[in-house]
Structure formats: C-alpha cells, structure tokens
Structure 1
Amino acid sequence: YGTLYGTTFPMDKADRIATFDSGSTHAMTLTAVDLDEQGQPKKWKVENSWGATYGQNGYLIMTNPWFNDYMFRLVVDTKYVPANVLKAAQEKPIMVVPEDPLFQEDM
C-alpha cells in the first residue's frame, strides 16, 4: 500500500489477525537458523511448499522480525520445547468459535 497509495497501515500482529489482514494460510519447513552472539535468532532458512521454482530452488531466507510478525502456527519436536510450554499444552483446550479470524483460511 505504501508505494501505490503513499500511505501505510501500521498494525501489529494482533490487529492484522483481528481485521483479517493476516492469517495462517501457508506451510513451510524450517531448515536452519542463524543465531547472534547471544544465541538469539537473526534469520531463518525455510523450504517453501510451493516447490523448487520459487525462491532459491524452493528455499527462502526470512528475518526473525518477519518470522515473529507472520508465523502463526509451528509444529516442533517436543525435545526442543521448553518444559513450561509442554506443561501449558497439557491444559484443557479452549474451543474457539468458527469465526475466529486466526483460523478463517482453514475452513
């Protein structure tokens, strides 16, 4: 929008989800991470589900800020998940309404 209309719409992730501007619609496989000196992620290498004709033979690099803004769901081997997150996963699930904007694209 910025280039075409000369304006931007500064919304955070929660606002983009609530207004259906962002959603969970695509799958990628994380294949590598570049960490800084403190062990924090700087960028991620992903294999795109669109095949080898997209990106570099099907692979893309995303920055950690982009990952944080646009990643919605992640499947991870439990050996990499902190104990407090595993404990939270044992709690009773909260059922969301079908109109929940985060899952609209799944229907």
Structure 2
Amino acid sequence: MSWIDIGHIDDIPLRGARVVKTPVGCVALFRTAETEIFAASNTCPHKGGPLADGIVHGQSVTCPLHNWVFDLNTGAARGEDGRIATYPLRLTGGRILLDGDAVGKRCAA
C-alpha cells in the first residue's frame, strides 16, 4: 500500500465529514468518534446524493436525499440493494493516511 497524508483528524468535525478529490472521484472522510475515521465514495448509488452532506451516526452515514443508510465498514446499504466503495486508511499521530493504491487503481476495500 502507498499511504498518502491527506490531513489531520481534527480537520474533520466529530460526527462530520470532509471530501477529498482522487482519481476515482470524490472520496468522503467520515469521523465517527474521537479517533475513528472512514473513507468511502461520496456519491449515493440511488440518486447520486452527496454523502458527505448526510448524517453521520454510529458507524453509518445517511444519504441527505432519500435517507439510504450505508455501513461505513462494508459500504453496504441497510435494507436496500446498493453499496458504496470504501477505501483503506489509517491514523498515525493524528494524521489521516489514505491508501493511494486503492484510490489510484479504482480498487475498493
């Protein structure tokens, strides 16, 4: 894996999100707890809603357009037939590191 430093965890509000541009399109970073963060596609497969504008709760995000709920661990939609891509990341000293190989090759975790 090729890790890319994309910012500090404090740049993302608790239970909030931010968007970074990558070769696979916009990736949303979701901060679900003090030291817990997930990376996933920013686009809802249902109607293209911007997931970073959705509600972050537990380890999930709810699409702001039609209330589809996505598990940020797996990308699976709860109760719906849909999925979003998720991407590997890690925290090191408060810095968010995104797997550049995954976002560069359109591979989802």
TM superposition score normalised by structure 1: 0.27
Work out which of the two has the higher radius of gyration on C-alpha atoms and give 1 or 2.
1
TM superposition score normalised by structure 2: 0.27
* Structure with the largest fraction of strand: 2
* Structure with the largest fraction of helix: 1
